[in-house]
């Protein structure tokens, strides 16, 4: 089949700005999602647009003449000679996180070829990682480099928040993007917040950027190092008080300023019973929360118990503490595994 020539617009930007520029172009309505980002020179990329942007700062607007780009992974794999049966077994989803593409391969044939195709599809990326799972008490990722330079450290930009991280050392869930943005919208400037499982600043950073004062606790030393770096990177180090510790120890020692207005429990197992009739983390969350404060409880819940189980656990912990619960919102964040959902319950505790 003869290829058809076409003329397409693109904007040239520095590689580190790729994600933030795509977000801004998408908001303006001129990002062309049907075409892929392409390398421009050693330091920059060409991001496809449908019209010159009016609100986004770019280096230049260019015209790219030639064959229309391959639009998706299937197109790239066909070009590499894959059969339709092989393409059906290829990954259906992946995530570009800064300069790294993170993908779950499953039963995919020829992983290295998939990695090269993903690099061709994402011109801003230089490494492709296969995600194999999460291990250990610190929830450290198990990943394998399948293509590219192998540099797993990157800076990911999301709704204006910058996250520096090493994807071989700390976990990052692309499926939590909307929830991270939501937490930045929920808080008010001047609120006092406890983030019990802060990680690299997943929820801490959007909340602090909104003006909240956040006590951020993280036990994993690598994640904690990035948490501190990210507070400075985002200009919120004056609003974030980081602790490398067990969050229960921080609560027991007493949070500076007394009980907080809001507690974020972003760990999947934060609502688990402790085996002695209480709850290992819920009890401490309630101890830290001022009357009328709000708690956000994350949980991985079997589909048959979605919302019912986390609400029951939260209510039982509150009753034991002589307090009452008003459920404000319940949300499905994403599918966690077959038959299991990642959910969050927002509740006011009187």
For tokens 């071989």, the residue is: 168
Q: Is 218 annotated as contributing to ligand binding?
A: yes
Q: What angle do CA 23, 92, 157 make, to 5 degrees?
A: 25
Torsion (CA) 308, 312, 315, 321 in degrees, nearest 10: -160
Q: Which residues contact 85 (CB under 8 A, 6 or more apart)?
A: none
Is residue 78 within a helix (H) or strand (E), and if so which, with residue range? helix 73-79
Instruction: Tokens 């917040």: give the residue.
Output: 193
Q: List the structure tokens of 188.
A: 């008010």
Neighbours of 308 (CB within 10 A): 12
Kindly state the tokens that stand for 189.
């400037």
Residue 153: φ, ψ to 5°: -90, 135
The Cα 316–Cα 284 span in angstroms is 14
Query: What does 18-52 look like in DSSP terms, one character per residue?
Result: HHHHHHHHHHHT-B-TTS--EE-SSSEEEEEESS-
Residue 173 is assigned to a ligand binding site: yes
Specify burial of residue 339 (Cβ count, 10 A radius: 0-12, 13-18, 19+): exposed
φ/ψ region of 106 (left if φ > 0, alpha if ψ in -120 to 50, else beta) reads left
C-alpha angle 52-58-64 in degrees, rounded to nearest 5: 55
What burial letters (b/e) apply to 67-83, b meaning 16+ CB within 10 Å?
Answer: eebbeebbbbbbeeebe
Q: How far is CA 73 from CA 69, 79, 178, in A?
A: 11, 10, 24
Q: Which residues are annotated as a binding site?
A: 173, 180, 218
Q: Which residues are annotated as a binding site for S-adenosyl-L-methionine?
A: 173, 180, 218
């Amino acid at each position: 089949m003869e290829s058809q020539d076409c003329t397409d617009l693109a904007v040239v930007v520095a590689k580190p700005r790729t994600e933030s520029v795509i977000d801004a172009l998408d908001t303006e309505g001129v990002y062309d999602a049907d075409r892929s980002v392409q390398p421009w020179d050693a330091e920059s990329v060409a991001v496809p647009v449908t019209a010159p942007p009016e609100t986004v700062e770019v280096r230049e607007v260019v015209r790219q003449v030639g064959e229309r780009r391959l639009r998706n992974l299937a197109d790239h794999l066909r070009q590499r000679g894959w059969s339709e049966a092989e393409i059906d077994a290829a990954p259906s989803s992946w995530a570009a996180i800064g300069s790294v593409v993170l993908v779950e391969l499953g039963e995919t044939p020829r992983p290295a070829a998939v990695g090269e195709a993903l690099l061709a599809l994402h011109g801003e990326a230089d490494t492709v990682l296969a995600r194999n799972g999460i291990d250990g008490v610190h929830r450290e990722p198990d990943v394998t480099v399948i293509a590219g330079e192998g540099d797993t450290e990157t800076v990911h930009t999301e709704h204006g928040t910058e996250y520096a991280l090493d994807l071989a050392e700390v976990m990052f869930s692309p499926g939590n993007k909307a929830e991270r943005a939501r937490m930045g919208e929920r808080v008010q400037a001047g609120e006092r917040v406890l983030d019990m499982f802060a990680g690299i600043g997943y929820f801490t950073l959007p909340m602090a950027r909104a003006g909240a004062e956040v006590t951020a606790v993280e036990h994993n030393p690598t994640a904690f190092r990035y948490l501190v770096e990210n507070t400075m990177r985002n200009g919120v180090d004056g609003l974030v008080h980081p602790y490398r510790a067990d969050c229960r120890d921080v609560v027991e020692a007493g949070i500076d300023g007394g009980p907080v207005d809001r507690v974020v429990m972003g760990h999947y197992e934060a609502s688990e019973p402790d085996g002695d009739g209480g709850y290992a983390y819920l009890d401490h969350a309630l101890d830290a929360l001022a009357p009328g404060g709000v708690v956000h409880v994350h949980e991985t819940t079997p589909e048959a118990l979605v919302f019912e189980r986390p609400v029951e656990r939260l209510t039982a912990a509150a009753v034991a503490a002589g307090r009452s619960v008003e459920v404000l919102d319940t949300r499905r964040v994403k599918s966690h595994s077959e038959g299991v959902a990642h959910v969050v319950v927002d509740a006011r505790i009187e």
